[in-house]
Amino acid sequence: MREINYIVVHCTGGSPNETIPQLIAGFRSNGWKNNGYHIVVDGSGARHNITPLEQIANGVQGHNAKSVHVSYMGGKIVKGKGVDTRTDAQKAQLLSILRELRAKFPKAKIVGHRDFSPDKNGNGVIESFEWIKVCPCFDANKEYEKI
């Protein structure tokens, strides 16, 4: 297994009802060989393991080698601000996943995507500059500090 320093929480920024094949097609249409996340929580709260943890996912450019990426389907920008669209089922599933990852990687920090500086010279970044700043549309650092 890789060394993991960060467990990064994301939102897809798409519809909560997007299917996993649609989500993965989106990564491929960006020219990505890898998926953007390891684990995705869909709109119903169901968990989908889309990338083995041993492999690298393209969640945050420059920080992927030592990160595990978890995302919920949803999250959106209204008037420049991120809106947390998580349902109770998604919140519960995220908690369960993060507790499991915390047990597996006790030294890793749980952070939100927006807690990383945006990559200004990168290529293959799925989000816009603004989106990087708001993803996952809530303060993951604070919400999960006790996990």
125 vs 31: CA distance, rounded Å: 10
Binding mask 73-92 for Zn ion (x = CB under 5 A): --------------------
Taking residue 87's Cβ as centre, other Cβ atoms within 10 Å add up to: 16
Is 38 near Zn ion (CB under 5 A)?
no
Q: Which two tokens stand for residue 81?
A: 């601000």
User: x-or-dash pattern for Zn ion, window 107-136, by CB under 5 A?
Assistant: ------x---------------------x-
Q: Which residue lies nearer to Zn ion by CB, 40 or 135?
A: 135
- Please work out the total of residues on this chain that contact Zn ion, with binding judged by CB under 5 A: 3
Rg (CA), the chain: 14
Site string for Zn ion, 1-20 (x = CB under 5 A): ---------x----------
CB 60 within 8 A of CB 66: no
Query: Per this entry, what is the length of the chain?
Result: 147
Residues of this chain that interact with Zn ion (CB under 5 A) are 10, 113, 135
